[in-house]
Structures are given as C-alpha cells and as structure tokens.
Structure 1
Amino acid sequence: MDDATLWWVLAGLLVAAELATGTFFLLMLALAAAAGALAAHAGAAFSTQLVTAGLCALLTVGGWAWARLRRRAASPQTNPDVVLDVGQTVQVSAWQPDGTAQVHYRGAQWLAVPSSAHGERHPGPHRIRAIQGNRLVIEPVDHP
C-alpha cells in the first residue's frame, strides 16, 4: 500500500472515531491526515508528509482551541444570546443605603445591584447587564 492510501485510511478512521465520540478535535486531526495524503499525492518524501500533517494538526487544533478560549472568555452571564434578560430595561424607584435596589421585572420583585461601585446612583431607567444568581446587575440607561 502506498503512503497516500495509508494517510486516507487514517483520515477515515479519525472521522469515524469523531462520529462515534463527538470529539471535534478528531476532525481536525483527520484534516491533518488528509493534508499528509495530499502531500503524498504531490510526491513528497515521507518526512515531508509527516511535517505537513503535523503543521496542519498544530494549526487546526491550536486554532480551534484558541477560538474556544476566546469564546469562553466572555462571561455567559453577560451574553444576550445565552441570557435573554441581558439588555432589557428596568425602572429603579430608589436605591437602598446598602447600594441595592428593588425592581419589578417579569412580574416579580428582584434585587438589583449596580454594575460598578463607582459613581452616583440615581433612580430611573436602567439596563440589565448580567444576572448573578437571583440578582440583576444593572447600569443606567444613557440618554443622548
């Protein structure tokens, strides 16, 4: 069996393993094996095929891991695609001395806390920035 066939068989086995386990990284490794097969079809030496597959594996797996870390860095509590309440507005009647407020939202009373400890707290419309447990983290709505 020639080198290209072995690379394609390896790519197929990796795809099958990915389908069985649902591990997306195995698909990246299958792409690397396909790159090795293409290098073999181009007539490259076996060491060049290995380097090609290795570089492709490093770039695809590394790129996927980097993208996942970037996505994970953004807190899901502040992501409006995850928490549909983020971005909605509430009305603050008054702030309590402890820095919290009671707001009426979705038919219930919620404890609201400011998004930052700095600045003065004024009653009025506020936007939900995040939900932490049973507390709304809010910020004032800026009026132009």
Structure 2
Amino acid sequence: MSESTVWWLLAGVLVALELSTGTFYLLMLAVGAVAGALAAHAALALTGQLVVSAVVGLALVVGCYLVRRRKPGDPSARAERSVNLDVGETLQITQWQDDRTASVRYRGAQWTVLLREGVSPEPGLYRVTELQGNRLVVDKA
C-alpha cells in the first residue's frame, strides 16, 4: 500500500470520527492528513509528509480555536425573551442599596433587583436583561 493511500485512509477515519463526535477540530486534522497525502503524491520523504501534515493540521486547529474564542458565547436561556417574558421589560428604580441591589414592585409582587456589573447604581429607568432565580438582573435603559 502506498504512503498516499495511508494518508487518504487516515483522513477518512478522521472525518468519520468527526461525524460521530461532532468536534470540528478533528475535521481540521483530517485536512492536515489530506495535506500529508498531497505531500506523498509530490514524492516528499516520509519526514516531509509528517511535517507538512503536522504544520497544516496544527495551524488549522489553532486558527479554529482562536476564531471560536473571539466569538461571544451563546446567551444564557435566562436572558432570552422567548424563554423569559420579563427580559426587556423596564423598571423604575428609585433607590439602590450598598450591595448593588434594590427592591421594586413588579407584576404585583416585591422583587429583588440586581445591577449588572459595570453599571453605576443611580436612580432611573432600567431594563431587565436576565432572571437569576427569583432576582431580576437589570441594565441602564
């Protein structure tokens, strides 16, 4: 069996593993194996094939990792309006406590309101951004 055939089989196995596990990184390693197969077709020595495969696979994995790391994560279900109808509603806060909480009458009941990090506690209009347990997390409206 030729070296290029081994590389193509390895690429196929990596693609099959990626399909069964759902990890995108295995697909990048499969592309590295394809690069190794192309290097074998170009008559590079086994060392050259390994280096080409490793460099291409590693570069793609690192690139994929960096791209995914830059994108913000999915918002919490507690912060989606389709899950929690309180998200997006506005509240009038008249006084904040020292621990960055307030008590407000909302929907016929007394609620504890938490101020999102980075927002200064001052009286005014606030928008509900998330529900944490039985507390409303708010941001300046």
Same fold (TM over 0.5): yes
**Which AA in structure 2 matches 1:114?**
L
Question: What SS is found at the alignment partner of 1:95?
Answer: coil
Q: Does 1:137 align with 2:137?
A: yes
Structure 1 gap ranges (5+): none
CA distance in 2, matches of 1:21, 1:75: 20
Structure 2 gap ranges (5+): none
Who is 1:84 aligned against?
80
CA contact (8 A) 2:79 2:87 kept: no
Q: How big is the shift at 1:53?
A: 0.6
Normalising by structure 2, we get a TM-score of 0.72
**Which AA in structure 2 matches 1:40?**
A
CA contact (8 A) 1:128 1:137 kept: yes
Q: Against the structure 1 CA distance between its residues 111 and 9, is the aligned structure 2 distance closer, same or farther, given a 3 Å change threshold?
A: same
Q: Does 1:32 align with 2:28?
A: no
Q: Does 1:104 align with 2:116?
A: no
Q: Does 1:13 align with 2:13?
A: yes
CA distance in 1, matches of 2:87, 2:37: 50
Q: Against the structure 1 CA distance between its residues 118 and 126, is the aligned structure 2 distance closer, same or farther, given a 3 Å change threshold?
A: closer
**Which AA in structure 2 matches 1:95?**
Q
CA distance in 2, matches of 1:50, 1:91: 62
1:110-125 residue pairs with structure 2 within 5 A?
A: 110-116=111-117, 119-123=120-124, 125=125
Q: Against the structure 1 CA distance between its residues 16 and 82, is the aligned structure 2 distance closer, same or farther, given a 3 Å change threshold?
A: farther
Question: What SS is found at the alignment partner of 2:138?
Answer: strand
Indicate the percent of aligned positions where both proteins have the same amino acid: 38
Normalising by structure 1, we get a TM-score of 0.71
CA distance in 2, matches of 1:13, 1:4: 14
Q: How big is the shift at 1:50?
A: 0.8
